[in-house]
Amino acid sequence: MAFDRLLMEEVREGRWDFVLRVYGWDPACVSVGKHQNPDREVDRSSLSAAGIGLVRRPTGGRAVWHQGEVTYSVTARMDHPMVSGPVSEALKKVAQPLADAVRRLGIPVSLGPSERHHVAGPREPANPCFTSHGRWEVGAMDGRKLIGSAQARSRGVFLEHGSILMENDQVRLLEHLPSPISPSAARRLREHLTEGIATLREFIPNLEIGEVERSLFQSFSTVLDGGLQEADTSLLEGPLLNRLTEEQEVV
């Protein structure tokens, strides 16, 4: 999360115009949105006992379990053609090459312009990201969610985070719910986090992460003027990254 904040600083200072970052998590971690109260989403002590991290994202959205996935971030100036316009328009612009990247792998997907929310129950806490569909999120043709995303805009810079599911580990959030969750709400959440989610390896069992990364690179390169070039991110390591890492809120 600190590294994505660093990329925002790089873009803000004009050193880069557009950055697509692809990464993973080791060990597994739960992230919560920047406006969330983590104690309403997860049981911290339970996560800690299991060796699972907990971090706050600089983007919005809700709780996500990060494990069997390819995570991406898009960072750009807010006036960049790839992300400019109102939130819904920016979501659609980024979603199109994401969907194309999955199609390049041979998996048919759809984009839905409307939000669909499933809740645990009246006044119940803990409604993870993958229990709902945001605007222009990528899903399987039967409507199940495949990619979850969230945005942030800060001082002229756009950031979008997203999780492209290789496998469905989201159901593991149910092992670490806060105690107020009722049994009936937990059952509804389990249904949404199993039957409502699609994964890449469901369609291509032996799919490698590297194949997904290459497809993302090709898809975004196609829609960006001049394409994308790989960057040596080790050049960004130093005092600023160290400071952002210290400042990054680990909850």
Tell me the mean pLDDT in the region 208-212. Answer: 98
244 domain residue, yes or no = no
Q: 205's torsion region: left (phi>0), alpha (psi -120 to 50) or beta?
A: alpha
Rounded alpha-carbon distances, angstroms, from residue 29 to 68, 147, 176? 11, 17, 12
Quick one: which of 158, 7, 160 has its CA closest to 85? 158
Tell me the mean pLDDT in the region 84-105. Answer: 94
Higher pLDDT, residue 7 or 180: 7
Structural domain total, the chain: 1
Per-residue confidence (pLDDT) for residue 122, from 0 to 100: 44
Quick one: which of 224, 251, 188 has its CA closest to 57? 251
29 is an active site residue: no
251 domain residue, yes or no = no
Asked if pLDDT for residue 128 goes beyond 60, the answer is yes
Query: pLDDT by residue (tens digit) across 13-56?
Result: 999 999 999 999 999 999 999 989 999 899 999 999 999 999 99
Range of the domain at 98: 2-238
250 domain residue, yes or no = no
The CATH number assigned to the domain holding 41 equals 3.30.930.10
Beta-sheet pairing, 18-23 with 137-140:
unpaired
Q: How confident is the model at residue 123 (pLDDT cuts 50, 70, 90)?
A: very low
71 domain residue, yes or no = yes
127 domain residue, yes or no = yes
Catalytic residue among 54, 76, 129, 200: 129
209 domain residue, yes or no = yes
121 domain residue, yes or no = yes
190: amino acid identity, one letter: R
243 domain residue, yes or no = no
